[in-house]
């Protein structure tokens, strides 16, 4: 099966420049559409992929901040099943994913699971913090009642 991961060479050049300069943390927003055969989100192949992905991300000291299913798309034409927000301590860490011991297994599982994926590189300093988000929700509920 052909890999679904087709790098944007311009974007990888930018990340290489950042890695070699003043590197900084980065948030990667993954928009995934899964093949029907993996039975997202309960299938064994999907679960194996998520387990391998979490291990791989931890090997470069990253963290899966959250993953959420997509229930629908009221506007636009991008059909996806899930969004994952993955934080990396540096751009170098993200670029090192391919060099980890578990990379080949992870990428094979990814190729078996993902029909289409898009990854967006985002600043990490704008990530909503869980504690702040929870406090905002509490404040909003107090105003409503």
CATH number (domain holding residue 15)? 3.30.70.100
Per the listing, tokens 């509920």 go with 141
Rounded to a whole number of angstroms, the CA Rg of the chain reads 17
DSSP code, position 42: T
Q: State the pTM of this model.
A: 0.81
3 lies in some domain = no
The per-residue pLDDT string of the chain (145 residues; one tens digit each, 9 = 90 and over) reads 344 566 788 888 899 989 899 999 999 999 999 999 999 999 999 999 999 999 999 999 999 999 999 999 899 988 999 999 999 999 999 999 999 999 999 999 999 999 999 999 999 887 665 555 455 555 656 666 5
Report yes or no on 1 lying in a domain: no
Report yes or no: 121 and 31 within 8 Å, Cβ to Cβ: no
Domain contains 2: no
E strands along the chain, which residues? Answer: 26-34, 63-69, 82-88, 114-123
Which domain covers residue 36, as residue numbers? 9-144
With respect to residue 25, please indicate whether it lies within any of the assigned structural domains.
yes
First and final C-alpha spacing in the chain: 55
Total domains present in the chain: 1
- Asked whether the beta carbons of 79 and 119 are under 8 A apart, the reply is no
SS3 118: strand
Residue 57: count of CB within 10 angstroms of its CB: 23
């Amino acid at each position: 099966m052909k890999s679904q991961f087709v790098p944007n060479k311009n974007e990888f050049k930018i990340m290489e420049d950042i890695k070699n300069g003043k590197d900084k943390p980065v948030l990667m927003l993954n928009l995934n559409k899964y093949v029907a055969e993996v039975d997202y989100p309960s299938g064994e192949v999907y679960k194996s992929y998520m387990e391998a992905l979490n291990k791989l991300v931890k090997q470069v000291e990253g963290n899966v901040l959250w993953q959420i299913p997509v229930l629908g798309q009221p506007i636009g034409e991008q059909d996806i099943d899930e969004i994952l927000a993955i934080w990396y301590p540096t751009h170098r860490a993200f670029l090192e994913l391919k060099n980890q011991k578990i990379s080949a297994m992870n990428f094979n599982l990814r190729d078996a699971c993902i029909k289409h994926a898009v990854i967006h590189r985002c600043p990490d300093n704008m990530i909503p913090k869980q504690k702040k988000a929870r406090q905002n929700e509490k404040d909003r509920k107090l105003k409503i009642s």
